[in-house]
Amino acid sequence: MLSAARTPAASRRSRGGTPRPVLAAGVAALVVLCVPTASAHPVAADLQSAASRADSRVYVTNQQDDTVSVIDAHTHKVVATVKAGRAPEGVAVAKDGRRLYVADSGSARVSVLDTRTYKTVATVPVGKSPTGVALSPDGGSLYVTNGTSNTVSVIDTHTQRASATIPVGRSPVNVALSRDGTQAYVANAGSGTLSVIDTGTHKVTRQLPAGRSPVAVAVTKDGKAAYVADEVGTHVLAIATDSGKATTVNVGTGPFDVAISPDGRYAYSANLGPGNVSVIDTGSTHVSATIALGPPGTDPFNLAVTHNAIYVTNQGAGTLAVVDSASHKVVATVTVGAQPYGVAVS
């Protein structure tokens, strides 16, 4: 369980200490795993089919291994392991699925990988300790939080160069964009704030109170609320984007990530302490279900949600949980690399 004496995950690069150096910096080598493991839970086969029907590939960054695990969303098998910088954290995939963007927190850059060859095609310098990444709705810009630079870098995905650097709060961890792409919201763990960026001017227009240590943010489909995970507490905040008024939703100890379902009906919170995911009804802002992933120490870290599945990286367990979106049942648990962090789906 998370306690006052325990260092928050947001301030640690990895749970097992400083990641080892990359063996060959800047070179992305493809390694096909000989013995990937994926254990299906004893549920009906139709649930497994539903969970992976429309998804193709799932990408998981492994902090301590300096790799990305590539998972077939239909078979729940690891099909490749790819070198990806040093201590990779946040990850995003282009709409066409051809480019993968990885925040290399140990090397102050973003690696751009070709998903057909798994080779690094570009490396873009950003601020120190890049952690969270988010693509604009049109795919033209990538927003990157730089944890120890207290900035957000904006990368032009056409030129693969940083086009702007925006000062935000202290220790920014995560960023999310509104569906229309006009606003970017940044969770600043060190200052307890949510920075609101006008994406047209690249200026911070507001700093909203957002708990003691906000580490993740997701924006509802209608843009009216930003859900923020406060890691050192036991709650998620639903913050009205117009007034800044916050509604507290009690979840498990140490919520570390939050995501919104594609239809906007639910927000999901990954809770480190109890090893579960809370399902929040965005209409009532109440927890409607709890999804058990494992005992304390499983450490559900980050989420990616599609129409069919909820993908959760479990940093303590070294696994990816695949949850059926309709039944909220775990349909597969996939063993990945050491200390998995980010997850993205194409």
**Predicted pLDDT at 54:** 61
Find the angle CA(319)-CA(321)-CA(322) to the nearest 5 degrees: 145
> Which residues in the chain come in under a pLDDT of 50?
1-7, 11-53
Q: What are phi and psi of 252, to 5 degrees?
A: -85, 175
H or E segment and range at residue 341: strand 340-345
**Predicted pLDDT at 313:** 98
**Predicted pLDDT at 8:** 55
**Predicted pLDDT at 10:** 55
H or E segment and range at residue 292: strand 286-292
pTM for the model stands at 0.86
**Predicted pLDDT at 71:** 98
Give me the torsion for CA of 134, 191, 298, 296, rounded to 10°.
-150
